[in-house]
Amino acid sequence: MKLNVLEIVQLWEALDQVAHDVLVPITTEAQYEDAMQLFACVWERVKEQQDHPLGSLFLLLRDHIQAYEDQVYPIPDPSPDQAHRRPWPQEVLDFKGDPELEPFEWDRPEPS
């Protein structure tokens, strides 16, 4: 397929008029909410089809949402005294499963 630059520019200008706030990096909570709404709609269509025509929009939205969340809702690194703590609640770590259904051995050594 030959790249038609003029057609791409014209289509992009038309798209920008109706979807500017979701095409640019997110800087406000209103843009974030709009992007999340559109992301949910796109996800319902794309699911896990990597070759879906909306796949590139999915990736664009995902990256913009992630960047905004990283900036506005950062997850701090654990302090040294918290770094050794287990990431899962104890009841999850203690779960062994049903021995009749699960053929694997779930006993694991405790981390030191």
What digits encode the pLDDT tens for the residues 20-43?
A: 888 899 999 999 999 999 999 999
Q: What is the model's pLDDT at position 3?
A: 87
| Extents of the domains making up the chain | 22-72
Query: What residue has token string 């500017």?
Result: 20
Mean pLDDT, the chain, whole residue set: 80
User: Which residue has better confidence, 45 or 77?
Assistant: 45
Q: What is the model's pLDDT at position 82?
A: 65
Is 0.85 surpassed by the pTM of this model? Answer: no
Q: What is the model's pLDDT at position 74?
A: 87
φ, ψ (nearest 5 deg) of residue 100: -75, -25
What digits encode the pLDDT tens for the residues 95-107?
A: 555 445 444 444 4
The set of residues, in sequence order, having a beta carbon less than 8 Å from that of 23 and lying 6+ positions away, is 15, 16, 60
